[in-house]
Chain A
Amino acid sequence: MTDIPFLSLAIWVPIIGGLVVLATGSDRAAPLARTLALITAVFAFAVTIPLYLRFDAAFSGMQFVEFAPWITHFGGHIGGSGNINYHLGIDGISVWFILLNAFITILVVIAGWQVIQNRVAQYMAAFLIMSGLMNGIFAALDGVLFYVFFEASLIPLYLLIGIWGGPNRVHAAIKFFLFTLAGSLLMLLALLYLYNISGSFSIIDWHQQREGLSAGVQNVIFLAFLVAFGVKVPMWPVHTWLPDAHVEAPTGGSVVLAAIALKLGAYGFLRFSLPIVPDAAIALAPLVIALSLIAVVYIGLVALVQADMKKLVAYSSIAHMGFVTLGFFMFNPLAVEGALVQMISHGFVSAAMFLCIGVLYDRMHSRQIADYGGVVHTMPKFAAFFMLFAMANAGLPATSGFVGEFMVILGAVKYNFWVAFFAATTLILGAAYTLWMYKRVVFGAVRNSHVAALTDINGREFFFLAVLALCVLAMGVYPFPFTEVMHVTVNDLLRHVVAGKL
């Protein structure tokens, strides 16, 4: 389609930029590190824009494909191509996530501008490298390449939580790493099994593979994927690492974790579970739907009683991601598209929520709801932004949060009334925990002298909150550009799933 390897650029610009930033070394060169990081992040975002502009929404296959053999050692003794390839490409499902990822990276760099005074170069480099690795996950079309990016992206986040995190950061960082590693190693076994029956590591080949995928085998592979991606999403009951990680992570870490890292698991379902083992996906869909509904209802209730703002938003993320997995496994286009829109919207909204909490934390060094009250009196501009994002988190119409939830609920009604009924409780629960938190933090009388001494947001904070507010509103009012690109791909995927392989 084009000669410029945009996907490779999207992956390697931030990684190489990150290494350059790392080379600036000590904190004496911190201003240089910040500037370089910002330039890299902006440039990395710029190279992803053509991915959207030149994207052919009418074409369901892979676009911007790049292919080069990486390791040819495996060929020969099974048949098939057998190599591990550097094989990239995107379709309507993945294109928005790469843009979202590059966009969020800019915000994270800006958000850490003043807050991080300690080992600045390492902080910025870790975010940039992670951004590149995550683009790699979304663009990989080779099973091993996907796995390599998937695992490697754990390292920067582990360091981010562990170095710049809160008091209990070591526990949170190691828990995060081991949970995800345990899941993804099971996926590795599934990938190796798929290679042994197909003689190829290409995800596209696996989509077409029929031989060796009996119902029983499909179920086992599906469960392996379910554990791997379920931990990452995270689904109930393997979600316990997320509140810990969110609470301890620095603001930027929480933003990237919620906005991008959680999407990797959901993306994995669409790229692996549904097309490779469609019959198992259909057979075991009730299981996933049940887990998703538990996440929506039970985790929603858990969120209600949190005393820590970050923990509350973390639980709200789990509930929202439960909505995403729910949408995927009802196999109708409306629900799947709704789930994808929900993913992107959650990327904006959760990023904004964590940034808002970060703004408060930078001033008060507390995340306890009880320490706040009456913030609106001292920070009116901030309170307005926070209000918008809280509403979006609760799914108010005309914000991005509404679009996805509404589409998924519509899809659910077609699927089964009771599923839709329980799914719809999210509108009540989401409003309850978000707005109640908002009320306690922002409204009421000024609670203590610390709140009275708060200063309103500065230009830098105004900038990133305003940009996010625009995104949230734009997506809520006019979601067409988002659904447009995914429409054909999603329909194609669902046809493939329903056709089955047995």
Chain B
Amino acid sequence: MNFVVPETGQYLSPAAGEIFVALAVLVIMLATVFARRAARGLAYFLTQLTLLVTALITISTLDSNTHFTFSDMFVSDPLSGLLKLVVVFAVMVALLYGRGYLADRKLDRPEYYLLVLLMTLGMMVMITANHMLVLYVGLEMMSLALYVLIAFDRDSVRSTEAGMKYFVLGALASGLLLYGMSMVYGATGSLDLTIIANKTSAFAIDSPSTDRTVLLFGIVFIVAGIAFKFGVVPFHMWVPDVYQGAPTAVTLLIATAPKLAAFAMAVRLLVWGLPHLAFHWQSMLMFVAAASIILGNLAALVQHDLKRMLAYSGISHMGFVLLGLLSGFAHDGVVFNEPIYSHRWFSLAFSGALFYAISYVLMSLAAFGMIVLLSRAGFEAVRIDDFKGLNRRSPWFAAMMMFVMFSMAGIPFFVGFFAKFIVLQAVLEAGHLWLAVVAIVMSVIGAFYYLRIVKLMYFDEPVDASPLRAPAELRVMLSVNGLAVAVLGIAPQALLTLCEHAFRASSLYR
């Protein structure tokens, strides 16, 4: 394979955002070295500025076309544009929420912000990859930064333990993914997702150049790698421990943007790269999704630590995202024991999954933001009992948390309802009635632990009646975030249209 370095700016422009972040990391590193005393504030400020400019670059380069560059290893399309925007936005909000928290615990060292930027860069690369190795490089860049971030509170045993756990398991998952990629490479002779899609199409099925067994073997490992990054059953064990062990500001980062990166990874690898083998990965995802929804909801019922509860609830939410992803293809018939996929695919399912993922990020940001809001120096509001009587202490933020809890439970008028609604519609349209029934039964069970939080906030008397003390920026942003959960529930049209446009315009069959 000949790698061609693009010569003119036109070919670099699809990667402008990534290049900018990479350069900014270097600049900030140097700047904080020389700034000495003001380094902390400067690093925070420059990081937010970088993210803002990245968002602007992403918006300005956004159009309805698909651009390839770097020998087709890199793709910029409406889907990547939307995902990048939301990722950058989520990181910005997470940093804003976490700032005071980190300062209270003396964790706001400049390295923290550099690592966050590197993580963001990794996610952006994952989102724009059209090549398995590029995707892998992005994944590792994100993961390595996260390993360090999780263990950032190095004096805390829990934090370092969580970092270690995530590192060992993450390395294993990366290995599985890479192994799967090598199998696919062995079967198709390429790592380029477009070429893989063509080689595995129905017309190439009987050609001797494609080895079915190796290919299917590879898919199993790829699905395992994806499932790990989503944090879904049976690769979910790390999720509660890491969420609990990491400093809450870092949990905010893990629980939000990387889910979108995992979504991008799943879409690129499975939907873009291996659409003709959908029958196989769909059946794997069905098991994974159903198991996640069941286990996530049941395990969340018995948690007393809010971060663990949200971790298990996140597992079930990711199960819902997978439900959407697996409902996107319907096969037209079976030829040679192999289902044949025509162009009949339901953008509703994919855009529904994307809508779900974005709304989950929004809800998750607000939920962990509430923990930060209630915490202060030397005190972590991680027990669910810490939310007792919040309505007495601050009716406004109790209402915000209530919005988020009802939204996560899928009650209208909140965004979580429409997310569940669209995904369920897609699942039914694809004909998987049993999956819809499982999802619905578990939603009722899951509603209990969200209701319990509302109960604690509204029905119980506060243990600690002191009013909330939090920086104004946190209060304002958290209010905007909570209101967004409600407003998007009443008017979801705009976001839905964006999600659908992202999938319609990003051509699937090239």
Contacts and interface: CB of A to CB of B under 8 A. Distances in A.
A188 interface: yes
A122 B451 contact: no
Contacts of B452: 174
A73 interface: yes
Contacts of A170: 455, 459
A73 B493 CA distance: 7
B323 interface: no
A151 B411 contact: yes
Contacts of A177: 447, 451
B425 A195 contact: yes
Nearest to B460: A170
B500 interface: yes
Given A73-B500, A185-B443, A186-B440, A147 B493 contact: no
Given A74-B425, A77-B348, A152-B413, A169 B395 contact: no
B91 interface: no
Interface of B: 346-348, 351, 391, 395, 406, 411-413, 417-418, 421-422, 424-425, 428-429, 436-437, 440, 443-444, 447-448, 451-452, 454-455, 458-459, 492-493, 496-497, 500
A401 B454 CA distance: 39
A192 B425 contact: yes
6 contacts: A73-B351, A147-B412, A149-B412, A163-B391, A178-B444, A181-B443
B417 A163 contact: no
Contacts of A445: none
Contacts of B440: 185-186, 188-189
Closest 9 CB pairs of A and B: A148-B412, A73-B496, A162-B459, A182-B444, A185-B440, A152-B412, A192-B428, A151-B412, A192-B425
A423 interface: no
Contacts of B443: 181, 185
Contacts of B351: 73
A324 interface: no
B428 A196 contact: yes
Interface in A177-233: 177-178, 181-182, 185-186, 188-189, 192-193, 195-196
A425 interface: no
Contact of A25 (B395, B413, B437, B454): B395
Interface stretch (A153-161, A264-272, A414-422, A483-491): A153-161
B423 to A, nearest CB: 11
A263 B351 CA distance: 38
B17 to A, nearest CB: 28
Contact of A162 (B418, B448, B455): B455
Contacts of B444: 178, 181-182, 185
A72 B496 CA distance: 9
Nearest to A169: B459
A70 interface: yes
A465 interface: no
A71 interface: yes
B455 A144 contact: no
Given A162-B455, A188-B440, 9 more contacts: A73-B496, A73-B497, A122-B391, A147-B412, A177-B451, A181-B443, A181-B447, A182-B444, A196-B425
A173 B459 contact: yes
Given A73-B500, A177-B447, A188-B421, A162 B458 contact: yes
- Among A74, A151, A170, A185, max chain B CB count under 10 A is at A185
- Among A72, A73, A182, A193, max chain B CB count under 10 A is at A73
